[in-house]
Structure 1
Amino acid sequence: MITLPPELRAQLRTNHDARRRADVASRRFDPSPVVKFFNPLSAATWLATELDEDGDTLFGLTDFGFGCPELGSFSLSELRAIRLPYGLWIERDLGFEPLVRLSQWADTARRAGSILWAERLLRRAAQTGTDPEDPLPPGR
């Protein structure tokens, strides 16, 4: 079962409020993801940057494992309601590190074909000092 500790919930709400202020001022807002959710039985992955006033609607990058990660909104209560085989649930990645801003996650995930591959590439770029703007190997 997904738990969202108060400190993560507060950071997601802070990002939502900051994005709204940036929208009013016609400024770009590009936070790093705050939390990662995943299906332990598949490649489905969600990175969230914001939490709406309703306390349920999250915004971020979603990937259902079909090779086309997308930015958009998703429901925390719907993620919590997903029942998987063997008594498993959608999980929160307790060791998640944001690495880069959401736009870079989205670009890398789209080019790599998944959030999971993007995470590996971005982590490798951070470890080796490779340019995080272009973490894909040549020819990709």
Structure 2
Amino acid sequence: MKMKAIFLAAALALGSGAAGAQQFDYGFAGLMGKANRVTLPDLTLGSGKPVQEAPVDLKSGAYYKMKIVADGSAELALSGGDFFRAIWINEIVINNIEVRPMGVHSLEFDAAGEAEISFIAVVPGSFSLSIPGSSGDSQKAVFNIR
């Protein structure tokens, strides 16, 4: 019975209809606001091309956005379960479709295209996204979360 009274009081305090809804701004603010988002250099997927120019330092608790761009020269993927477990993914945008996954292990491109990922770095350490089956340093992206 107490819960029912609490819900009723909350509903009365909020008001009803459009007037009640105007009291709240449901847009992203604080950490998730555009002003706090850091845009990282693009990652490149192309036959014989380096994925990343240099390792990227991230701050634990900070909000980031980066693009993964495939040129279509080969069917390539970026795999990195350890990296994806060290971050909280807000969304992955592919062809203007926003995906909010519970977990990711890899992203594979069968043709030219791009995916944009926004995330919060969480677990400190050094992590990489690499092209499966490759061993060269230029075939991976390294992220250092501090």
The TM-score normalised by the length of structure 2 is 0.25
Q: Rg larger in 1 or in 2? A: 2
Q: Which has the higher strand share?
A: 2
> Which one has more relative contact order, counting CA pairs under 8 Å at least 6 apart?
2
Give TM-score scaled by structure 1 length.
0.26
